[in-house]
Amino acid sequence: MRRPFPFDRRQRAHGAERMVRTKLSTCARKVRYPTEPAALAIALAASVPLRPYRCDRCGQYHLTSRTRGKRTLPPQARQA
């Protein structure tokens, strides 16, 4: 007997409640920052919206431009 999923097939098809693991090749080609404040400082200085995230592969921080459905930096932080 199969164990039931905590969500239905329709949600799973659309990626709801799914944590995506970072690809090893993606981690290897990105710059690594040892702390979140270090990554955040670079993100705020960039000309495009970036946000830091903790990598589940290396345990350090990377930057991403993907913000869909994610917490973004406050507008006043970007202007400073």
**pLDDT tens digits for range 2-36:** 555 554 454 455 544 556 777 888 899 999 999 99
Stated pTM of the model? 0.62
What is the rounded distance in angstroms from the CA atom of residue 15 to the CA atom of residue 35?
29
Q: Average pLDDT for residues 65-72, to the nearest whole number? A: 73
Q: In 3D, which of 26, 62, 63 has the Cα closest to residue 47? A: 63
Write the CA distances from 62 to 8, 33, 73, 76, integer angstroms: 32, 6, 15, 22
